[in-house]
Amino acid sequence: MTGYYDYILGLIPLALLGITGTLTVAGLQLTTAVPMAAGVAALLTGHALFVNGPSSPSPSRLDEHAGPNAADAPSPSVLDAD
């Protein structure tokens, strides 16, 4: 099943290559087309990280996968070095 991040990972190289090629064919120099395409790829990455960022599991799901909590564990005995 493909998700949002799968599409983003596919769009990043497509933006770099496709936009660079399109702008070069349209008449821009390669040294201008590459930074413009890289800007689009950076915007895609920024959107994936900050606008629609990966979510952490809910606390109930986190408790299912975690082991015993530190509060539930027995307290260690105190060792005296003297």
Say what the pLDDT of residue 8 is: 93
Tell me whether residue 72 is in a domain. no
The reported pLDDT for the residue numbered 52 is: 80
Give a yes or no: residue 29 inside a domain.
Answer: yes
Asked, for residue 76, whether it belongs to a domain, the answer is no
CA pair distance 39, 33, nearest whole angstrom: 10
Task: Look at residue 81 and tell me if it is in a domain.
Answer: no
Cα distance between residue 63 and residue 82, in whole Å = 40
Domain count, the chain: 1
Q: Is residue 80 part of a domain?
A: no
Whole-number pLDDT of residue 25? 97
d(CA 79, CA 75): 12
Write down the residue that tokens 């064919």 correspond to: 25
23 falls within a domain: yes
Query: pTM score, two decimals?
Result: 0.63
Give the pLDDT means over successive 10-residue stretches in the chain (82 positions): 88 96 96 96 92 70 56 64 68
Output the pLDDT for position 40. 96
Report the pLDDT value the prediction gives residue 58, as an integer from 0 to 100. Answer: 63
pLDDT score for 67: 58
Q: Which domain holds residue 37?
A: 4-52
